[in-house]
Amino acid sequence: MKPETRKEVMFAGFGGQGIVTAGYITGEAAVVYDDKVATLTQVYGPEARGSACYSGVVISHEEISYPYPLNPQIMVVMNQEAYEKFLPKLQQGGVLIVDSTIVKPDKLAEKYQLYKVPATEIAEKMGARVIANVIILGFLGRIWDAISVEALQEAVKTRVPKKYLELNLKAFQTGVKLGEKALKKKIIKR
């Protein structure tokens, strides 16, 4: 029978990095602005800050039978501990996006299509470390066909405080451009 049309992405990092927010924006973009079906789940420890955590988004055209990621095609990693802990969950040959300011990929990364995005460094230059996840979202939107850049941008708009809207949109567009460049460099298996 036809497999479910599941597209899965995992955001892995550190409590406080906006890992769940990134997942939420992705899911909301898919459901509300792309008119698809999506689920978001998360795994975290009892600590509010400073433990490895992840959020997973499943996007589909039909009812999703299992809300957790089963075999993610894409993983975004924003913290070294999370890299070591969650990388094995990424599907063989899948797309690995790391915040290269923070995460130093080792030999294990060779099994995947690796993209290094110095998101935190760029965010700091833009004046706010916390927007690193929005840069990554722009990048993701550009290179992943499960979700449209427009939908993601709309979701970003609704989820960030008005005061920081412009900054966030700038960050998002920066990410989109980096994705554009990456696409030119490599052929991504989707």
Binding residues for other proteins, per CB under 8 A?
A: 1, 4, 24, 27-28, 30-32, 37-42, 44, 46, 63-68, 70
Residue 87: phi, psi to the nearest 5?
-55, -40
The dihedral formed by the CA atoms of 160, 30, 126 and 113, expressed in degrees to the nearest 10: 150
Shorter beta-carbon distance to other proteins: residue 4 or 124:
4
Angstrom CA distances, 56 to 19, 44, 72, stand at 9, 12, 8
Shorter beta-carbon distance to other proteins: residue 66 or 186:
66
How far apart are the C-alpha atoms of 170 and 187, rounded to whole Å? 26
Shorter beta-carbon distance to other proteins: residue 39 or 174:
39
Question: What token pair was written down for 80?
Answer: 């070294």
Shorter beta-carbon distance to other proteins: residue 33 or 115:
33
**Least spacing, CB of residue 24 vs other proteins, in Å:** 7
State which amino acid sits at residue 164: Y
**Least spacing, CB of residue 127 vs other proteins, in Å:** 26
**Least spacing, CB of residue 55 vs other proteins, in Å:** 10
**Least spacing, CB of residue 60 vs other proteins, in Å:** 10
Report the SS3 class of residue 190.
coil
